[in-house]
Structure 1
Amino acid sequence: LTQVKGIQPHVASLKNSSSLGHLCGATILSQTSALTAAHCVTKDVDQYLLQLNNYCSHGDVPPKADVLQIIKHPLYNPITRAHDVAVLRIALNLSDVTWLSRSLLPTYTFGLSGECTIYGYGYKEVDSGATSERLSAGTLRIVSLDECTATLGPYAAPRHDSGMMCAVGEGVDACQGDSGGPLFCSGSIQAVSSHGISCAVPGLPAVYTSIGPHLQWIRELIQND
């Protein structure tokens, strides 16, 4: 992934609240809600906080948001990773929220195809074991579930009823630490990074939670925001 500064301030780092170690990506949807992968938030709510590393603040310390509640999708399966999405209720410690005025959620999800952009704070090198404080981005291409199954095999590829999708890049991929981060297509968040076999293996797709099948659930949870 290529580093991008100041773009997409919505993309936050989900951190361990005591060690401040980076765990996953997340997307700030509003002052009171954020989106991440369900497998990223398995512990008690007080174990997490969000840090807005890509928000251009004048101070040295990036703004943070407290995580107040974790709501995993009711059909989330930790074994198959089906429906791997969670809404976080948050308290954003920031006075300037004008940048949150536009909704990131898609108005349509049918016929999703073409190129999209993944954002994350994950490993730069697969073997380094080091995540990044700086946001990175890469271009991916959506692939059909049939193509995904042909490449990954029936056990690794998502099932048609799992609410998941696949995308692949040319030497670009989500990696450890990128989970929970968003896949943007035409300015809207269309997927959340979930899992893959490795990182940036040529032609090998990674699996994402598709927003479309979960859009109604997300909208109902954040409708009062």
Structure 2
Amino acid sequence: MNSRNNFALLFAVLSWFLIYTNAQYRIWNGKDRNIEKSPYLASIHDSGIYICTGALISLQMVLTAAHCVAYSRGNLIVVEAGITDLDDTTEDGQMRGVESIHHPCDYSPETGHMDIAVIKLHTPFRRGSRVEIIELCDTTLNLGTKMRVSGWGATSGDNERYSCTLQTTNVNIVLTQECAPMAAILGNMITESMICATRDGTSPCQGDSGAPGVVKGKLCAVVSYGICCANPSYPTVYTDVNNAKVRNFLRDAMAWLS
């Protein structure tokens, strides 16, 4: 790994520490959600450890945040679909290895710009009541739009373990200017690939990275980063799936990988 990659990895680790120090690590005030209500969700594991959430945009492709997988070894990543509880061995989950990982050339771990990635699996998932794909958003999100976000984020401030059971909550789209002070704390800037959302008392948090923001049954955003979880003064930053550059990347990646 060259010095630039070393710096990027160090920056990513430091950013995560700054983002989530003194926060309660979970989707705050979320509710349990059965996977059959969100069958497009998948959990992403690195070396046997859960790291992020993703969404099935085809039976062989998973959409997530680039920072989850950009510096991982693909042969150590496993994606699981069809489960509500990460620890329930009786659930009929499906696990798949990774063939390749693709993220935009201009993805920046320093700013979070274009924080999105497509994982291609070795073999497709089997469609069923607990496993289904989700369509990409085709409309611009307006101020105040309600968006559902779900994931398996960690459950306590000591960060000892993630939530075993899938959690979900609703947040509202806010002006990107409202994210700027929070981003500045981290030395970041809000770019055109980002949108912001918040709601008093609830939000995604660590372990929910890569989780889809869903509006009217379509995938419109991907959890990127945040600070002081569930604090309305610090909205969560998402990658905007309807942004032209993001959409072009997804179209090209899906066409090339198909």
TM-score for both structures, normalised by structure 1: 0.86
- Deviation (angstroms), 1:92: 4.5
Q: Report whether the alignment pairs 1:14 with 2:57.
A: no
CA shift digits 1:89-141 (9 cap, x unpaired) = 11346433587776420122364641111111101233343112321111101
Q: What is residue 75 of structure 1 aligned with on the other side? A: 106
Matched pairs, number: 222
Structure 2 counterpart of 1:23, one-letter code: I
The letter for the 1-side match of 2:211 is G
**1:145 touches 1:158 (CA, 8 Å); kept in 2?**
no
The CA deviation string for residues 15-54 of structure 1, in whole angstroms up to 9 with x for no partner, is 02x3x21101111111221111111011111110111153
The Cα of 1:63 is off from its aligned counterpart by: 0.9
Q: Residue 205 of structure 1 aligns to which amino acid in structure 2? A: P
Structure 1 residue aligned with 2:73? 44
Corresponding residue for 1:105? 136
The 1:134–1:161 alpha-carbon spacing in structure 2 relative to 1, beyond 3 Å, is same
Unaligned runs of 5+ in 1: none
Larger helix proportion of the pair: 2
1:138 aligns with 2:174: no
Partner of residue 219, structure 1? 251
Contact 2:149 2:168 in 1 (8 A): yes
Query: What displacement does 1:220 show?
Result: 2.2
1:11 deviates by 1.0
Does the residue aligned with 2:37 lie in a helix, a strand or coil? Answer: coil
Q: Assess if the C-alpha contact under 8 Å between 2:60 and 2:124 holds in 1.
A: no
Tell me the amino acid that sits aligned with residue 48 of structure 1.
I
Aligned identity (percent) is 26
* Structure 2 gap ranges (5+): 1-29
Supply the RMSD in Å over aligned alpha carbons. Answer: 2.7
Q: Shift of the alpha carbon at 1:146?
A: 1.5
Post-superposition Cα deviations, 1:163-198, rounded to whole Å, max 9, x if no partner, equal 111111221111110001111112111111111112
- Checking the alignment, whether the CA contact within 8 Å between 1:7 and 1:54 is kept in structure 2 is no
**Cα deviation, residue 215, structure 1:** 1.3
> Cα distance 1:55–1:38, how it changes in 2: closer, same or farther (>3 A)?
same
Q: Work out whether 1:190 is the aligned partner of 2:215.
A: no
Q: 1:171 aligns with which of 187, 191, 201?
A: 201
Equivalent residue letter for 2:60: T
- The letter for the 2-side match of 1:9 is P
Post-superposition offset of 1:157: 8.4
Counterpart Cα distance in 2 of 1:162 and 1:48? 30
User: 3-state SS of the aligned residue for 1:179?
Assistant: coil
Larger RCO, structure (CA 8 Å, separation 6 or more): 2
Aligned-partner SS, 1:174:
coil
